[in-house]
Structure 1
């Protein structure tokens, strides 16, 4: 696998960690500010995941992506 593809795979792992963190933060939060923070983390994870998915698809179409 190309180094750039490895980095995209790591990005998907990062996104999953961000979702887990946002979920955990929502469970233990004690005020609205924390709710906003973890909402931003979750929203950012969705945006990053979408960008990474588009980039992966572009690499697949170019024939670069190898599982």
Structure 2
């Protein structure tokens, strides 16, 4: 696999699209943690539904972001600093 960087310095620069994918992966971890905490501390069914939806959405986003990250790796767009 070849990289698409013109010079070695460019390999150290995080592409904005990769930074956004990485941030998405970080956010879904926060969403999952909040859903777990909220579910443990909830006092009614409505909150349970809300945290269940949050958890489901987080796992779906995580799946999509990881798939997109793999696509960027295969294209040679992803660097180790992400």
Determine if the TM-score, normalized by the shorter chain, exceeds 0.5.
yes
Q: CA offsets per residue over residues 7-65 of structure 1, 9 Å max, x none? A: 10000000000011101101110011110000000000000000001100110010000
What is the RMSD computed on CA atoms of the aligned residues? 0.6
Which residues of structure 1 form unaligned runs of 5+? none
Distance in 2, Cα, partners of 1:56 & 1:20: 22
Q: Number of matched residues?
A: 67
How does the TM-score come out when normalised to structure 2? 0.79
Which residues of structure 2 form unaligned runs of 5+? 1-13
Runs of 4+ in 1 over 4 A off after TM superposition: none
Say which one has the larger Rg: 2
Say whether residues 1:11 and 2:24 are aligned partners.
yes
